[in-house]
Each structure stands twice: as structure tokens, then as C-alpha cells.
Amino acid sequence: MDFSLNEEQALLKDSLERFIQGSYDFDARRRHLASEAGYSREIYAQFAELGWTAVPFSESDGGLDGGPIELMVMMEQFGRGLVIEPYLPSIVLTGGVLRHAGDDAARARWLPGLIDGSTTGALALQEPQSRFDLANMRTRAAPGDAGWQLDGHKAVVLNARDADLVIVPARTRGRDTDRDGVTLFALPADTPGVTIRAYPTVDGMQAGELLLEGVSLPEDAVIGTPHAGLEVLEAVVRDALLAVSAEAVGIMAVLVEKTVEYSKSRKQFGLPIGAFQALQHRMVEMFMEHEQSRSLLYMAAMKLASEAPDASRALSALKYQVGRAGRRIGQEAVQLHGGMGVTDELDVAHYFKRLTMIDLAFGNADHHLGRFAA
Amino acid sequence: MDLNFSDADLAFRNEVREFLRTGYPADIREKMDRGIRLGREDFLRWQQCLHARGWAAPNWPVEYGGTGWSATQKYIFTTELALANTPTIMPFGLSMVGPVIYTYGSEAQKQRFLPDILASRVWWCQGYSEPGAGSDLASLKTRAERDGDHYVINGTKTWTTLGQFADWIFLLARTSTDVSRKQEGISFILADMTTPGISVRPIITIDGEHEVNEVHFENVRVPVENLVGEEGRGWTYGKVLLQHERAGIAAVARSKYRLDTLKRLASEAPEGGTALMDDPVFRRKVATVEIELLALEYTDLRTLAAVATGGAPGPESSILKIKGTEVQQAIDELYVEAAGCYAFPFTPELFTSPDIPDSTRIGPAWAADTAPHYFNGRKVSIYGGTNEIQKNIIAKAVLGL
């Protein structure tokens, strides 16, 4: 029983901490958000130089052989910095499909660019009707002249506009909700018939609706085993659940710290508001929710790392807790900051927004409570 | 990061399990499993079984009879005892007064009291709270006035758990009122319960049980050698005592045992009916408690791991009492809900008479104690420093407010 990081993990954490605390400036983030890309390509290139984009991949693929613990360490810091660069869509999701699909050719073709940061990726995981059911898929791929023809609508695809590679799961046989019959396709963004309606998201990310009308893809666009893509997506979502939960725990830690500090300096009725017991107890509740979330984060990371049979259930427990605790901590942080908490100027508002939206990513608290209880 | 216990720890766990298989008296086990109240002798006999194995006081230093176990071993021991549904080890001697005596007591006190505490030959009770001093404990008014070789004690202590069984009491009493802070001038004194002037009056709790008492002191003469440590320093000693037992305070293993049992019971369909666990609403309610408990388990393990590697418990350890009691109370509520209409019958005779055949019981055997247990269990967020006091402590000590 050991909750400490090994030497390499501690170094990784150090390197991220230094970068986030030293260089990831909130005002610069604001400027990058308003830029055309919606994030800083320069900073993302630094992620690659520092080796972070290589962490989850095996050494034979040019990676650093990191696992769930390393992913957790990185994502927590990204949460602390409220990072907007496309690590999650490009490395965790797109890279994750390539890692889990067991397709040497696809890895050889796409991974080098993702790892060196010269390209980014997106994974079209949801559809307008699918909610949190990965198998609910109306996008169809039918055999065409020289390969496949895809038609459908993918909803809220993270990093859709910027991505050089979009991975599109499509139904190649069976009914709209069958587990069998989902095939994964590598779609270069400039393929004819692809329309991307891009938009920023409320929490500082970039996303888009992906519309596919008679899109032709060659035979070799298929990633992994035809019809068996759902299990790959499920494995990727397991990683993603850990990733966004770690990000959320990082945000929670920041919100607890910032709220406590603010309550020590903000004076009303001649006293720092932190001297009032009604507020003290609410901050203690925030502190406890954060610690309980952190405990489940460590548990789930270790279960995933050891490929424990109950890893999925552990992740559902974690995501439920993160959704519930995140809502409470976010709302309380805003309330205790008073009017400033609902201004665009204060970073607390931005942490609150990201924390709120993480609940809706990859299944919300209710969804995961249902899975845990099943 | 690693979830596994070492091979040595797993071997130790087997040793504990083997002991529980053979060393846990069958009659006490049966009472525990059937929800029958234990008497004084049951508690003492169980603790004497542990003592015979050398396991009565894992937290004590080896020189006084402790086990010398690692933090992990202590954790495994506590967990296995709870999962086997063994009786709670009465804390008053082994966890409370014992550590104060071996830390602050005189040689004579150590020799006189520690062996009997270790062997559970003597039952101790605690004299802290007073009718006018609850959360604000330092405002206590019980006086101990020096008269020659004796203290003369006058006052009233309350919430004295199982004081009716006790041979000795340890109490906080005011030996001086000429102080700048009310925490000063309080002394830690030991008194034989048979001393003239001590009377015990039962307080019947919400579940109809006689568990707590008022203890009155009327000109009770206690020899000065029963003062522990220095006069006027009792508050410091008492605080140390309250902090002594961090391990196990969250009662994770006991809650796991109770929740697992509940899930099993609620999965059984009554004849002609459906199992409550098949109701998705109830099922989700159980799941929320289970997740909170899982989080608490890992908070507890984080604390354990920090201590096991020689560090101090992190700030997360401060939440164990609050979260532990919240989970216990949530489980108590689930039991009442699961019992349904059979939470209603009030049949306290079932808890004291092991000989009543199951056929004469009303409703399922497990249901009879669910409501009394729930009502009684409201105490856990009140005693040992209310959860509100715990939050004050976290606000001050951890958040720096």
C-alpha cells in the first residue's frame, strides 16, 4: 500500500508544476482564448518539447511508456493551470484510440505527428441523440466505390476545427444501438464532404459539429478491427474519465485554496469574512469534498494501472464523486467570492465553468451512479 | 503508487483471521450476529481473549504491553476484527486512560493501573462532560479541593458511558479558579467508583437503553497520589487523549461490514414480494453511500500510508471523524428504510434475552434493532467533539482561518 509517486513520476510532476506556476499565465491564457486558434500553438509545441505529449505512448511508438498514474499527474496540473491546449482531444482521445486499437499501420502513420505536436487530433465520440451511450450511433459507413462512404452528424467534437486527424466511429452493420458493428475511421480534416461548424465552448475549449455527407474514405482508413470499435472507444473513455477527473481535482484544489485565501483578506463588518463560522464550515465542507475526491482519484488510477477487474466501477465511483463534489465546490467558491465570483475578470469564475462542464463529459454523476449501482 | 499489501502483511492478515476463527468465543459471536446486547462480562471476556493472544493494546508502546506492530498491521487488525463482527473494544481503559497514564503518570501509577487495564480486569469510565460543559468542555465546574493528603471532589459528570459497569473513573476537575484562561487549573484525577459520595444515576437514551449515566460527586475524598501528572495540566493531557486514537476513528471496516450485510438482506425478496435492492431508487441511494464510504476508505488509507512510511498524517486525516460518522448515520437510515413496516415494533426484550426462539419474533430478526439503532446512532456526530467542533478545528488548524 503506497500512495507516493516514484522518482520519474515525481520529476514529471515537478516539471509540470514549474511550467504551470511559472509560465502558464492567466492573462496570456485569456489572450490565447481570444485568438483564432483559441489556444497557443507555441505553448502546445512546448508541451511536445518537454515530452508531455509522448508520455502515454509505448517506447516502440516513440513514447515514454507512461500509464494512468502519469496521466493523472499531468492532468491534475492542467486542471490547476486551466490549460486550454488540446492535450485531452489530441493525446488522450485520438492518441488513445491509436494506442488501444492494435493497428500498427495507423499508429505508424498518425502517432509521430501527434507526439511531436506538429499535428493534433479529435475523436467524434457523440451524436445529437446519443447522450452518454457510446453504442448509440446513427452515423453510417457503407461500402463505396473505392472503400467507404460516410454519412452522419457528430456532436460537440472537441478540437474539431484544428484537428488534422478526426477519428470517426461509424456504424458498418446492425441497428443504431448495437454494440457490434461500430468501425473506427481515420478522417483527414480536408476530406471533401466534411463540414465543420466550429465554436468555442463555455469552458474555454474549442469544439464543433461534424457533418458528413457522402464522404468517401479509402479501405485503409479503417483503424483496428472492423465492426469491433466499441471496445476501443470504451477503453479510451476509461482513460478519459481518469483524465478529466484528475483535471477536476486539480481545479477543486485551486478553488479551495483561492476561496480560503480570499476569505482571509476580504473584510466586512470590520472582520475578515473567514472569521465567520457560517463561512468557515462551508469552506471545511469544500475541503472535505476535495479530499474525498482525491482519495477516489488515487484509487481509480491505481485500479486502472493494475488492470483490476473492478477498474470501470472504480472510475464510475470517481466520476460520480467528481460531478457531485465539483458542483458543490464550484458553486460555493463563487458564493464566497461574492459579486466578484460572477465576473469574467476573476479566474475563479473560469475554474467554476470548467469544473461544471467536466461533469457533463463522458457521463455525468447520475449516469455513473447508475453504472456503479448496476 | 501501489494498492497491494506486502507478503508479510498478507501473512499477518491470515494470522489474525486464523485467530478470529478459533479465538472469538462462539456465544459472543452469536449475540453479535443476532443483535443481542452484550453485558459487562461479554465485553471483558472478549478483551481478555485478545489479551491472552498479546493483542489487547496494539497502540501501546511495547514496554507496557503493546504489540510493536506497524501502522499497516494495526490497520489490518482493526479491519479484520470489524469484518468478523467482533464487539467494540471499550476505549476507556485501553485507548483513553492507559495512554495518559503511561505518558504522564508516575512509576507507581503505571505499575498499579496498567497491568489491570491491559488485562481488562478493571472497567474504566470517563468523567469529562458536565451538564453545563459539553462542546465548551473547559468551562467545567467540578471542583477538586486539596485537603491534606486528599482531594475533595464535588460536582456532576454526565454522558458517562457504561458508568454502571465501571470500577474506576478518570475525570477532569478544577483544582484552581485563579487562572487567566479557563483551560488552566484543570487536573486529571483517577477515582475508585466505590469511594463514598459517588453515585451513578442512569440516563435512558432515545432507544430505551441504559448506556449513559450521570455521576455525582459529593465530598468525595480521593488520595492525592491519584492525580496524574502535574496539578493544573489536565487539559493538556485530556487533549492528547482525544487525539490519541486517529486510527480507526472513521470506522471504515465496521461500516463496510454493515453496508455489505444490508445489501445482502435487501436483496432477499420477502415471500410474495420483491427485493428492495431491485428498486432502482433505493439501489442508487445505497450506491451513493457506498461511494462515500469507498472515498473514506482511501482517505483512511492515505493517512495510514503516510504514518506507515514514518510521516505525519496529512490534512486529510482531519476529516475522518466527520465523514466516518456521516457514513455510519447514512447506513443506519438505510437499515430503517429496508426494514419497512418491521422497523415499527419496539421489542427491547429481544435484545436482552438470547433464549427467545426466532419463531416468536415479529418480522425478520434483523429488522427489530434497525430503528433503535438509528435513533441511538444520532450520538456519533455529537460525541467525541461534535462534528461542528470538528469543523471549527479543521477551519483553524488546517485552513488557517
Instruction: Report all structural domains of chain B as residue ranges with CATH numbers, in order of start.
Output: 7-89 (no CATH), 123-232 (2.40.110.10), 246-397 (1.20.140.10)
Sequence-separated (6 or more) residues with CB below 8 Å from residue B26: none
Please report, as a single letter, which amino acid is at residue B293.
Answer: L
Residues of B in contact with A288 (CB under 8 A): 319, 322-323, 394
pLDDT band for position A124 (cuts 50, 70, 90): very high
Distance of CA A278 to the CA centre of its chain: 35
> What's the confidence (pLDDT) of residue B360?
76
Q: How far is A23 from chain B, CA to nearest CA, in Å?
A: 27
Residue of A129, A49, A127 lying closest to A85 (CA atoms): A49
Nearest CA in chain B to A366: B284
Q: How far is A264 from chain B, CA to nearest CA, in Å?
A: 7
Catalytic machinery residues of B: 245
Nearest CA in chain B to A324: B288
Query: What's the whole-number mean pLDDT along residues A128-146?
Result: 94
Q: Judging by DSSP bridges, how do beta strands B227-228 and B186-192 pair with one another? A: antiparallel
CA distance linking residue B218 with residue B157, whole number of Å: 12
Contact (CB<8Å) A295/B296: yes
CA distance linking residue B386 with residue B223, whole number of Å: 34
B2 touches chain A (CB under 8 A): yes
User: Which of B79, B276, B282, B291 to substitute to test the interface with A, most A CBs within 10 Å?
Assistant: B291
Largest CA distance in chain A: 78
Residues of A in contact with B309 (CB under 8 A): 2, 4
Q: How far is B301 from chain A, CA to nearest CA, in Å?
A: 8
Task: Quick: pLDDT tens for A314-350.
Answer: 999 999 999 999 999 999 999 999 999 999 999 999 9
> What's the confidence (pLDDT) of residue B243?
61
> What's the confidence (pLDDT) of residue B4?
87
| 8 A C-beta contact, residue A98 and residue A233 | no
| 8 A C-beta contact, residue A174 and residue A185 | no
pLDDT in tens, chain B (401 residues): 888 899 999 999 999 999 999 999 999 999 998 888 999 999 999 999 999 999 999 999 999 999 999 988 999 999 999 999 999 999 999 999 999 999 999 999 999 999 999 999 999 999 999 999 998 999 999 999 999 999 999 999 999 999 999 999 999 999 999 999 999 999 999 999 999 999 999 999 999 999 999 999 999 999 999 999 999 999 999 877 666 555 568 899 999 999 999 999 999 998 899 999 999 999 999 999 999 999 999 999 998 888 888 887 778 888 999 999 999 999 999 999 999 999 999 988 888 776 777 777 788 889 999 999 999 999 999 988 899 999 999 999 999 99
Contact (CB<8Å) B388/A281: yes
Neighbours of A2 (CB within 10 A): 15
Q: How far is A1 from chain B, CA to nearest CA, in Å?
A: 5
Contact (CB<8Å) A369/B287: yes
Q: Which three cell numbers stand for residue B313?
A: 498524517
> What's the confidence (pLDDT) of residue B245?
53
Contact (CB<8Å) B283/A373: yes
CA distance linking residue B118 with residue B333, whole number of Å: 36
CA distance linking residue A297 with residue A247, whole number of Å: 10
Task: Quick: pLDDT tens for A262-309.
Answer: 999 999 999 999 999 999 999 999 999 999 999 999 999 999 999 999
Cβ pairs A/B, distance under 8 A: 124
Q: How far is B343 from chain A, CA to nearest CA, in Å?
A: 25
Contact (CB<8Å) A280/B1: no
Neighbours of A307 (CB within 10 A): 9
Please report, as a single letter, which amino acid is at residue B351.
Answer: F
> What's the confidence (pLDDT) of residue B63?
97
Q: How far is B10 from chain A, CA to nearest CA, in Å?
A: 11
B245 touches chain A (CB under 8 A): no
Query: What's the whole-number mean pLDDT along residues A100-123?
Result: 97
Contact (CB<8Å) A295/B309: no
B400 touches chain A (CB under 8 A): yes
User: How buried is B209 (Cβ within 10 angstroms: 0-12 exposed, 13-18 middle, 19+ buried)?
Assistant: middle
Which residues lie across from A218 on neighbouring strands?
A147
Which residues lie across from A216 on neighbouring strands?
A149
Residues of B in contact with A302 (CB under 8 A): 1-3
Residue of B20, B28, B14, B36 lying closest to B82 (CA atoms): B20
Task: Tell me the CA end-to-end span of chain B in Å, nearest whole number.
Answer: 32
Say what percent of chain A tops pLDDT 90. 98
φ, ψ for residue A148, nearest 5 deg: -130, 150
Nearest CA in chain B to A9: B1
Contact (CB<8Å) A3/B1: yes
Contact (CB<8Å) B280/A373: yes
Contact (CB<8Å) A321/B291: yes
Please report, as a single letter, which amino acid is at residue B386.
Answer: T
Q: How far is B194 from chain A, CA to nearest CA, in Å?
A: 44
B8 touches chain A (CB under 8 A): no
Task: Quick: pLDDT tens for A206-216.
Answer: 999 999 999 99
Nearest CA in chain A to B387: A281
Q: Give the one of B5, B288, B290 whose C-beta lies nearest to A1's C-beta.
A: B5
B5 touches chain A (CB under 8 A): yes
Q: How many CA atoms lie within 13 A of B307 on its CB side?
A: 19
Residues of B in contact with A306 (CB under 8 A): 3
Please state, in angstroms and as integers, the Cα–Cα distance from residue A252 to each residue in A249, A297, A328, following that order. Answer: 5, 12, 10
Interface residue ranges in chain A relative to chain B, Cβ cutoff 8 Å = 1-5, 9, 69, 260, 263-264, 274-275, 277, 280-281, 283-285, 287-288, 291-296, 298-299, 301-303, 305-306, 308, 317, 320-321, 369-370, 372-373
Contact (CB<8Å) A287/B286: no
User: Which of A76, A264, A295 to substitute to test the interface with B, most B CBs within 10 Å?
Assistant: A295
Sequence-separated (6 or more) residues with CB below 8 Å from residue A353: A202, A203, A204
B275 touches chain A (CB under 8 A): no
Contact (CB<8Å) A4/B395: no
Contact (CB<8Å) A296/B308: no
Contact (CB<8Å) A1/B316: no
CA distance linking residue B159 with residue B133, whole number of Å: 11
> What's the confidence (pLDDT) of residue A117?
97
User: Which of A3, A9, A279 to substitute to test the interface with B, most B CBs within 10 Å?
Assistant: A3
Contact (CB<8Å) A317/B400: no
Q: How many CA atoms lie within 13 A of B93 on its CB side?
A: 28
| 8 A C-beta contact, residue B201 and residue B186 | no
Residue of B304, B230, B250 lying closest to B75 (CA atoms): B304
> What's the confidence (pLDDT) of residue A230?
98
Contact (CB<8Å) B391/A306: no
Ordered by where they begin, the domains of chain A are 7-120 (1.10.540.10), 123-226 (2.40.110.10), 231-373 (1.20.140.10)
Roughly what angle, to the nearest 10 degrees, separates helices B40-52 and B26-34? 130
Q: Give the one of B1, B5, B392 whose C-beta lies nearest to A4's C-beta.
A: B1
B13 touches chain A (CB under 8 A): no
CA distance linking residue B366 with residue B378, whole number of Å: 20
- Residue B272, phi-psi category: left (phi > 0), alpha (psi -120 to 50), beta (remainder): left
Contact (CB<8Å) B395/A264: no
Residues of A in contact with B5 (CB under 8 A): 1
Q: How far is A346 from chain B, CA to nearest CA, in Å?
A: 22
> What's the confidence (pLDDT) of residue B352?
79
B344 touches chain A (CB under 8 A): no
Which residues lie across from B124 on neighbouring strands?
B168
Nearest CA in chain A to B5: A1
B281 touches chain A (CB under 8 A): no
CA distance linking residue A208 with residue A42, whole number of Å: 22
